[in-house]
């Protein structure tokens, strides 16, 4: 059975933070430069673990600085002001051995429930699967896809707090 825990980074043991970073680096699409500090700066970290303690999935809610948000929104050529979206959903990663079990949906759903009264943004690869996930949770594309710098395009998605959502269908 897979259980979840959601913690502030300051409440995590150093090994838990290292395990989170390792899973994100291995299965996520993230720039590893400065990742350790960015994880420590996150608002909430979600850990999915098997009963034996094996970490099989992670995700986070982040509160990035306005400068970063401006950069992302500008790259996407989004017309929405970035100061209206202070929360970012990200670093959703599931171990290959546990993919296809709906764990990404579980991670996203649990994290969104912590910020349901806030506008949220996320970036993800420009592919059909990611677009379906985003739509299922009330995210809408903003602007245009833009190069990630790692060989694929990213899409900026926005989720407005005041709208009704189908939460993962």
Whether 169 shows a pLDDT value over 50: the answer reads: no
> In this structure, are residues 111 and 43 in contact, taking their beta carbons and an 8 Å threshold?
no
Per-chain mean pLDDT for the chain: 91
pLDDT for position 8: 97
Whether 166 shows a pLDDT value over 90: the answer reads: no
pLDDT for position 31: 83
Please report, to the nearest 10 degrees, the dihedral formed by the alpha carbons of residues 36, 38, 44, 45 taken in order: -30
Mean pLDDT of 3-32: 93
> In this structure, are residues 126 and 29 in contact, taking their beta carbons and an 8 Å threshold?
no
Q: Which is more confidently placed, 28 or 99? A: 99
Interval 141-160: pLDDT, tens: 999 999 988 888 999 999 99
Interval 24-79: pLDDT, tens: 999 867 888 899 999 999 999 999 999 999 999 999 999 999 999 999 999 999 99
> In this structure, are residues 112 and 139 in contact, taking their beta carbons and an 8 Å threshold?
no
Percent of all residues in the chain with a pLDDT value above 90, rounded to a whole number: 79
Whether 133 shows a pLDDT value over 80: the answer reads: no
Helices (H) and strands (E) in the chain, counts: 5, 7
**Residue 154 half-sphere exposure toward CB, CA atoms < 13 A:** 21
Distances (CA, A) of 127 to 15, 37, 123: 33, 29, 12
Q: Which is more confidently placed, 162 or 126? A: 126
Query: Closest Cα to residue 114, out of 4, 6, 3, 2?
Result: 6
pTM: 0.91
């Amino acid at each position: 059975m897979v259980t979840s825990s959601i913690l502030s980074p300051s409440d995590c043991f150093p090994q838990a933070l290292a395990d989170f970073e390792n899973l994100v680096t291995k299965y996520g699409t993230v720039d590893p430069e400065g990742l350790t500090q960015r994880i420590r700066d996150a608002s909430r970290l979600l850990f999915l673990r098997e009963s034996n303690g094996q970490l099989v999935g992670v995700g986070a809610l982040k509160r990035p600085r306005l400068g970063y948000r401006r950069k992302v929104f500008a790259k996407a050529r989004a017309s929405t002001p970035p100061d209206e979206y202070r929360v970012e959903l990200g670093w959703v990663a599931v171990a290959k051995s546990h993919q296809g079990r709906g764990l990404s949906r579980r991670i996203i759903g649990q994290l969104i429930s912590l910020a349901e009264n806030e506008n949220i943004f996320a970036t993800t690869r420009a592919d059909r699967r990611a677009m379906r996930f985003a739509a299922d949770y009330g995210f809408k594309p903003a602007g245009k896809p833009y190069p990630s710098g790692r060989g694929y395009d990213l899409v900026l998605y926005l989720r407005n707090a005041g709208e009704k959502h189908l939460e993962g269908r």
